[in-house]
Amino acid sequence: MNADDVRVLACDTVFQGYFRVDRYRLQHRRHDGGWSQELTREVFERGHAAAVLPYDPLRDEVVLIEQFRPGALAAGWAPWQLEVVAGIVDPGETPEEVARRESQEEAGLTILELAPIADFLASPGAVSQTERLYCGRVDAAGAGGIHGLEQEGEDIKAVVVPFAELRGLLAAKKVSNATGLIALQWLLLNRDELRARWSV
């Protein structure tokens, strides 16, 4: 089944702030061939995102960032999250441009090369956001410190982690967000091939 198997009866914006919430009235085709009852569902609209795991293949290190996250606070989890670099794709921007811009803004790093990891939906039950995830080749010598745009209220700490410590980091549940988990597990599976591609 595809989008042709959905009848959108109405779509209204019910909240517009920093983010937007739309309320849909719809029906969708059922697996038995019939149609569902009319459903009302809210969808959180926050734009599409690009994310990048900065990796230095020569030093065999990744650079993660730590920042305050109100969603984690509301869920009762640690509000300072260890993450990969990420940002919203603005109109006229490509995901690659966002990955490069955000790496500079959030970690003070210049991306030398990008390797695609995955495209995925953040939470398709209620959020329209898609995410394009990369691994970015960087020079991590001297990486660290505090970054972010003051006008956006950002207070972001860059953290350098040797590849040899990644399994322990994951086992200790130090990374608890989906994008970070996907990126780090991908690197654990693909590091040797990636280093060969980047001629290390």
As a whole number of angstroms, the distance between CA 190 and CA 174 comes to 21
Contact 142, 62 (CB under 8 A): no
Span(s) in the chain for CATH 3.90.79.10: 49-197
Q: Residues 61-119: pLDDT tens digits?
A: 999 999 999 999 999 999 999 999 999 999 999 999 999 999 999 999 999 999 999 99
Q: Residues 30-46: pLDDT tens digits?
A: 999 999 999 999 999 98
CA angle 72, 138, 123 (to 5 degrees): 30
Supply the CATH classification number for the domain 49-197.
3.90.79.10
CA angle 184, 54, 149 (to 5 degrees): 120
Tell me the catalytic residues.
152
Let me know if 39 is exposed, middle or buried by CB neighbors in 10 A (0-12, 13-18, 19+). exposed
Q: Is 19 left (phi over 0), alpha (psi -120 to 50) or beta?
A: beta
